[in-house]
């Protein structure tokens, strides 16, 4: 065929496809894939999955295929068996090929069947998540809806993520979130092709992970007697408390279960153990860790920042390394988060013993003291094949050699770290703090910490600052959402704050810059919200979420 003939045929095929589309609703309805794939070419026709559809997978993808079969068993009522992907395999075929990126996939749906190609299990997993999004939203339910036809529109997709770190953080310390909900939260991340779950496990207000060597961390410090009601105030005369204990922690077996659940969904769980600040729960359980000889009143029952900070003694270093030792047995993550933010240095300034330690170690000031402490953890983790990650305050007083920086006070910390050759995860308050309000009209919303971060702001987030050279920009691993829970007391409220903003963020982190278009996103979002309805997610409704209220 001549080139002209090929072009004519292509135009004809597309116009047939376009007519079929207009008969079936807008493109956004038929191909409402979020995050938006790199290439999505509509084709004519569809493939219908029935109970007789064969499913075949290359050996490396058998477990991903089985996960899909388990996921779709309840909504379809079909009991598929995964078979080897022979050359003549039909139906849904998952084939391992060489040369695609780590998380990339190709997907072809024709009236004859579905073929997904990837080089890695993650790529195959994401191909199948896309297939689910091409099916009716009822695929996300737990029982068959009578009359549903499992039709997948014909399409050619080529897809790969822009960033390797696409995540969400979750603070389970201010308010404890039950294990079952943590798993639901992780499952939702996976459905948005997010791959990092940053689990904020320790705080002034509660310690949430069992440590066998130091049982008092959970025996004593996982339960606070009461919690402040309403907005934070430092003025005791204005503080009102609920009088209700708030308790909870994860046993090591719970943690193993969550980590395995996440791994099945291609998600790395990055644990955070805060130091040297945000440690009131730790020093209450083990007062030898404190930088003060005053008695410690208990866990913090208000918000804000606690004055308690670890004593930078050898015994505190040993204690925290013992804790990390147990953490390492539970979490295979290459990164271990050690916090490092908002460590108030007043107790170090007031302590003659700690001032003497600063001098004897040849350090200039309290910032260098903090850096020294973090470096002990960096050396410890590096020797065990892991990488330390911390909030951007770890830049103050000098970065530890192998540290990755999580930039939350804007992008500047991340820019400085990238220029020094360190890896960076962007987490700026301006775009990724989902404890902020979703409306300018704060009174119309549940109490939040402050701010205003609507979905279009989130969508517009660009993790790579223009001031970085291409080589420096390679250090920007990606970004993540922050869900701090001072004002988020339960899972329902958490979902309200997280969704649909996380839907917008997933596209900002997965899709290439030239594929990002807020208007196009908004045509796909209504279908996606039907999926979240089926999944029982308490997202903030769009009619409330006027883009610029």
Q: Does 408 bind ligand ACM (CB under 6 A)?
A: yes
Q: Which residue shows structure tokens 């002034």?
A: 204
Count Cα atoms within 13 angstroms, Cβ side, for 16. 9
CB of residue 482 to ligand ACM, shortest distance in Å: 7
Given candidates 214, 391, 510, 521, which one binds ligand ACM under the rule CB under 6 A? 391
Give me the least distance between CB of 370 and ligand ACM, in Å please. Answer: 14
Write down the least CB distance from residue 545 to ligand ACM, Å.
24
Closer to ligand ACM at the Cβ: 341 or 365?
Answer: 341
CB of 303 to ligand ACM, least distance (A): 11
Rg, the chain, Cα only = 25
Q: Which CB, 264 or 341, lies closer to ligand ACM?
A: 341
**Which CB atom, from 348 or from 391, has the smaller least distance to ligand ACM?**
391
Q: How far is the CB of 430 from ligand ACM (least distance, A)?
A: 12
Nearest to 167 by CA among 529, 478, 501, 542: 478
Nearest distance, CB of residue 392 and ligand ACM, angstroms: 8
- The site map against ligand ACM for 291-330 (x = CB under 6 A) is ----------------------------------------
Nearest to 395 by CA among 429, 364, 371: 371
Task: Count interface residues toward ligand ACM (CB under 6 A).
Answer: 4
CA pair distance 449, 367, nearest whole angstrom: 28
Helix (H, G, I), strand (E, B) or coil at 249: coil
Give min distance, CB of 408 to ligand ACM, in A: 4
Residue nearest to ligand ACM (CB): 341
Question: Which is closer to ligand ACM, CB of 58 or CB of 168?
Answer: 168
Q: What would the two tokens of residue 474 be?
A: 């390679």
Q: Which residues pair with 357 in a beta bridge?
A: none
Q: Is 122 exposed, middle or buried (0-12, 13-18, 19+ CB in 10 A)?
A: buried
Would you say 436 or 531 has its CB closer to ligand ACM?
436
Site for ligand ACM in 327-346 (CB under 6 A): 341-342
Of residues 266 and 282, the one with the C-beta less far from ligand ACM: 282
* Cis status of the peptide bond prior to 102, with omega within 30 of 0: no
Total Cβ atoms within 10 A of residue 293: 8
> How many H helices and E strands in the chain?
19, 19
CB closer to ligand ACM out of 322 and 341: 341
**Residue spans of alpha helices (H) in 311-428:** 314-330, 346-350, 352-360, 366-383, 412-419
Give the three-class secondary structure for 234: coil
Contact between 487 and ligand ACM per CB under 6 A: no
The CA distance from 208 to 384, in Å, is: 24
264 near ligand ACM, rule: CB under 6 A: no
The DSSP code for 288 is G
Least Cβ distance, residue 342 to ligand ACM (angstroms): 5
Question: To the nearest whole angstrom, how small is the minimum distance from the Cβ of residue 420 to ligand ACM?
Answer: 20
H or E element: which one contains 47? strand 39-48
250 closest CA partner among 216, 280, 222: 222
- Residue numbers at the binding site for ligand ACM (CB under 6 A): 341-342, 391, 408
């Amino acid at each position: 065929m001549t080139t002209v003939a090929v072009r004519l045929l292509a135009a004809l095929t597309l116009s047939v496809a376009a007519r079929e589309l207009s008969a079936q609703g807008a493109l956004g309805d038929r191909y409402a894939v979020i995050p938006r794939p790199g290439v999505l070419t509509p084709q004519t026709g569809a493939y219908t999955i029935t109970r007789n559809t064969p499913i075949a997978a290359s050996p490396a993808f058998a477990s991903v295929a089985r996960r899909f079969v388990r996921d779709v068993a309840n909504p379809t009522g079909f009991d598929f068996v995964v078979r080897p992907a022979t050359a003549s395999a039909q139906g849904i075929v998952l084939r391992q090929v060489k040369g695609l990126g780590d998380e990339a996939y190709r997907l072809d749906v024709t009236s004859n069947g579905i073929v997904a190609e990837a080089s890695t299990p993650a790529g195959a997993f994401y191909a199948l998540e896309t297939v689910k999004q091409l099916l009716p939203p009822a695929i996300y339910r737990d029982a068959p809806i009578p009359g549903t036809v499992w039709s997948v529109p014909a399409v050619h997709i080529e897809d790969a993520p822009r960033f390797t770190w696409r995540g969400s953080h979750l603070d389970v310390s201010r308010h404890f979130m039950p294990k079952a909900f943590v798993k639901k939260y992780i499952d939702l991340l996976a459905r948005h092709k997010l791959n990092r779950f940053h689990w904020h496990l320790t705080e002034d207000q509660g310690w949430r992970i069992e440590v066998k060597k130091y049982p008092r961390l959970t025996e004593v410090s996982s339960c606070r007697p009461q919690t402040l009601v309403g907005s934070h105030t430092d003025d005791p005369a204005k503080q009102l408390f609920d009088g209700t204990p708030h308790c909870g922690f994860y046993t090591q077996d719970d943690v193993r279960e969550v980590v395995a659940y996440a791994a099945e969904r291609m998600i790395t769980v990055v644990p955070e153990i805060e130091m040297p600040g945000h440690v009131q729960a730790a020093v209450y359980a083990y007062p030898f860790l404190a930088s003060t000889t005053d008695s410690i009143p208990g866990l913090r029952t208000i918000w804000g920042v606690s004055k308690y900070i670890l004593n930078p003694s050898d015994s505190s270093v040993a204690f925290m390394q013992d804790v990390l030792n147990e953490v390492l047995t539970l979490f295979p993550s290459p990164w271990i988060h050690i916090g490092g933010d908002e460590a108030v240095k007043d107790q170090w300034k007031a302590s003659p013993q700690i001032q003497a330690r600063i001098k004897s170690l040849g350090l200039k000031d309290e910032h260098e003291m903090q850096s020294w402490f973090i470096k002990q953890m960096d050396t410890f983790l590096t020797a065990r094949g892991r990488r330390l990650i911390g909030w951007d305050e770890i830049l103050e007083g000098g970065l530890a050699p192998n540290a990755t920086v999580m930039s939350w006070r804007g992008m500047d910390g991340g820019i400085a770290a990238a220029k020094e050759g360190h890896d960076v995860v962007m987490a700026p308050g301006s775009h990724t703090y989902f404890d902020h309000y979703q409306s300018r009209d704060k009174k119309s919303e549940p109490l939040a910490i402050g701010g205003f971060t609507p979905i279009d702001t989130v969508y517009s987030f660009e993790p790579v600052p223009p001031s970085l050279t291409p080589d420096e920009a390679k250090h920007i691993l990606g970004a993540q959402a922050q869900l701090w829970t001072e004002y988020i007391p339960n899972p329902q409220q958490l979902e309200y704050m997280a969704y649909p903003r996380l839907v917008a963020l997933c596209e900002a982190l997965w899709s290439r810059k030239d594929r990002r278009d807020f208007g196009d996103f908004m045509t796909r979002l209504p279908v996606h919200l039907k999926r979240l309805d089926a999944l029982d997610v308490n997202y903030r409704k769009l009619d409330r979420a006027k883009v610029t209220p």
